[in-house]
Structure 1
Amino acid sequence: MIRKIGLLLMVMLISVSFAAATASQDNGYTIVPVKSDITITPRWVTNTITQGETDWHSKQVSSYTTCLHIDLNWEDSSDSLRLRVYDPDNQHVGTFYDSYDGSIDGRINIDIRNSSGIDLGTWRCEVYGYSVSGTEDYYI
């Protein structure tokens, strides 16, 4: 009986840990990592970044939608970039690293969801060269 309860608790703990790793909620938004090798969204910007450098990018949301897709890619997965996202009210929505989706592959690919609708206006993304050797090309 004790072994069955222990096994049940372990399964519940694993389930809770998996749910926490795959979605988080902040400011009414649910952030979900997108696990896909295929990207069908157009690129916002192509740029380069170095260690400790910060680049800012923005995306205008001008019509009703329940999902905002952000896909930050870079070639050298031994380099590490950080992504911070801010809503049109300049509220911090989340901070993301390469490992957010459970793999280190030079990509932060997320959907920001809100069933009531994504705030209209200018969304801002901060890309930071967290650990970069030389210069890293990226696109977002």
Structure 2
Amino acid sequence: MIKKIGFLLIIMLISVSFAAATASQDNGYTIVPVKSDITITPRWIGDTITQGETNWHGVPISSYTTALYVDLNWGDTSDSLRLKVYNPSNQLIETFYDSSDGVIDGRIEFAIRNSNGIDIGTWHHEVYGHSVSGTEDYYI
């Protein structure tokens, strides 16, 4: 069986209202779990990860927006990845695991929102192979 879905980290700037059951607030940001029924345009970069490995990815935000959408989908529930999100000042915004959205499905979806605008600059995403057997494909 070929791992095609891998890890998907879709980033898109959006200014829409999310219907979500829970939200958390950290560093002036609201973290809102979302569902994949939102129409978005993905940005894809393929990579792989192994047990204990850490990969870093940067997402440049160059203009004013009130939300950053992230969809992390590696599609293999037998493997577990961890995602940490840092703002351009390198402050940790939140740490996410597969269960962070209440469902273990090899996917984490959320929006980082701030009504005053999210920080302009490069946001950093730390992907860690928390519990990976062999090599796990993912996409950003």
TM above 0.5, one fold? yes
Cα pair distance change 1:39/1:74, threshold 3 Å? farther
Q: In the comparison of the two structures, how many residue pairs are matched?
A: 120
Paired with 2:54 and 2:40, the residues of 1 have a C-alpha distance of 26
Q: Which residue of 2 aligns with 1:100?
A: 100
Tell me the amino acid that sits aligned with residue 73 of structure 2. N
Q: Compare the two structures and name the one with the higher helix fraction.
A: 1
3-state SS in 2 of match to 1:100: helix
Q: Any conservation in 2 of the 1:73–1:107 contact (CA below 8 Å)?
A: yes
3-state SS in 2 of match to 1:59: strand
Q: Which residue of 1 aligns with 2:26?
A: 26
Residue segments in structure 1 that go unaligned for 5+ positions in a row: 1-20
Q: Which residue of 2 aligns with 1:17?
A: none
Q: Which residue of 2 aligns with 1:12?
A: none
Q: Which residue of 2 aligns with 1:71?
A: 71
Runs of 4+ in structure 1 displaced over 4 angstroms? none
| 1:46 matched to 2:46 | yes
Paired with 1:98 and 1:81, the residues of 2 have a C-alpha distance of 7
Tell me the amino acid that sits aligned with residue 75 of structure 2. E
- Measured after TM superposition, the shift of residue 22 of structure 1 is 2.1
- Measured after TM superposition, the shift of residue 51 of structure 1 is 0.4
Paired with 1:134 and 1:63, the residues of 2 have a C-alpha distance of 39
Q: Which residue of 2 aligns with 1:124?
A: 124
Tell me the amino acid that sits aligned with residue 86 of structure 1. Y
Q: Which string of whole-angstrom CA distances, capped at 9 and with x for unpartnered residues, describes residues 61-105 of structure 1?
A: 001100001111102111000000000000000000011111111
Name the TM-score, length of structure 1 as normaliser. 0.80
Q: Any conservation in 2 of the 1:57–1:126 contact (CA below 8 Å)?
A: yes
Larger of the two Rg values belongs to structure: 1
Q: RMSD value over aligned CA atoms?
A: 1.5
- Measured after TM superposition, the shift of residue 44 of structure 1 is 4.1
Q: Which residue of 1 aligns with 2:59?
A: 59
Q: Any conservation in 2 of the 1:81–1:128 contact (CA below 8 Å)?
A: yes
Q: Percent identity?
A: 76
